Amino acid sequence: MSRVNTQETLVRFRYAQKLVDGRDEFVNQKAIAPTDQPPEPLMQVTDDIISIRDARHAIRSVYLVPVVIAVWFTFIFIISDLGLNSASINYGKDLLTRYQEKEQEGSYFSDHQRKEYLYYQTIFASNGDYSLANYFFAVYKFGREGVRKGLEKELKTTGVSALIVFLVSVFFIRTLRPTDIFFDRKRGIVYTWFYGRVAACRFENLGFLEKSTGIVL
């Protein structure tokens, strides 16, 4: 139902066709039985007004929603990967217990053992509970240089991903669903509005394009 230019050009343009030109073809299609609720894409039917939605109304659900979900999933994965995993936490608690017993016995601590003891003491604090804040403090105070650089890289990655999540979420919230397209049969005009701007034309001037997402008026 839409024309494509056939000239030898680098860009192929698709031109909108007048909706009234396809009237005979539409009439010959299978009739739709009347129902209490208008079927998609009809949103509302009254004596004077018919409102519909076109392919632009699916942009949020088809494109934006998957992007938002993917960004949030990636951010949650990055957050969950921060700090020690369960195996490292259990190992650290066991090692801390052995060092505490060794200290009570008055045994000798090498410089490495003393530093490692302070490292795990800081991570698990006085109550023996693990927290990310204690882990960050322990790494920067007693951790090896490689561990500190690795943590700095993880924090930078988390910060960048958090910024992306924030921007994508704000864009999704501020991207409003397009208003339905209204056919005023009494006045013979078609109109809609978006972000405070009104678009309107007469029935005979209304065009449409067939796209992969559907028909765009």
Q: Is the pLDDT of residue 80 over 60?
A: yes
Q: How many domains does the chain have?
A: 2
32 and 77 share one domain: no
Looking at residue 200, its pLDDT comes to 67
Q: Do 87 and 157 lie in a common domain?
A: yes
**Domain residue limits at 212:** 3-53+178-216
Task: Examine residue 98 and state whether it is found in any structural domain, yes or no.
Answer: yes
Q: What pLDDT was estimated at residue 11?
A: 40
Dump pLDDT digits (tens) for 91-104: 888 988 888 888 88
> Does a structural domain hold residue 117?
yes
Confidence of residue 56 (pLDDT cuts 50, 70, 90): low
Same domain? 20 vs 44: yes
Both 133 and 188 in one domain: the answer is no
Task: Tell me if 58 is assigned to some domain.
Answer: no
Are residues 105 and 153 located together in one domain of the fold? Answer: yes
User: Are both 79 and 146 inside the same structural domain?
Assistant: yes
Pull the structure tokens for residue 9.
């050009």
State yes or no: pLDDT of 119 exceeds 70. yes
In a domain, residue 59? The reply is no
Give residue 1's pLDDT band: very low, low, confident or very high (50, 70, 90).
very low
Same structural domain for residues 167 and 193? no
What integer best gives the mean pLDDT of the chain? 75
49 and 139 fall within a common domain:
no
pLDDT on residue 6: 44
In a domain, 170, yes or no: yes
- Looking at the fold, whether 109 and 75 belong to one and the same domain comes out as yes
pLDDT at 7: 45
- Show the CA angle centred on residue 125, arms to residues 123 and 130, nearest 5°: 50
The answer as to whether 205 is a domain residue is yes
> Do 75 and 128 fall into the same domain?
yes
Averaged pLDDT for residues 63-70: 87
Higher pLDDT, 194 or 93: 93
| pLDDT of 161 above 90 | yes
Neighbours of 217 (CB within 10 A): 19
Residue 129 in domain: yes
Residue 160 has pLDDT above 90, yes or no: yes
- The mean pLDDT of 13-37, rounded to a whole number, is 57
Cis peptide before 178 (omega within 30 of 0): no
pLDDT of residue 187: 78
Query: Are 99 and 114 in a shared domain?
Result: yes
CA dist., res. 70 & res. 123, Å (int): 32
Tell me the mean pLDDT in the region 28-45.
61
Give the mean model confidence (pLDDT) for residues 79-84. 86
Q: Give the three-state DSSP class for 83.
A: coil
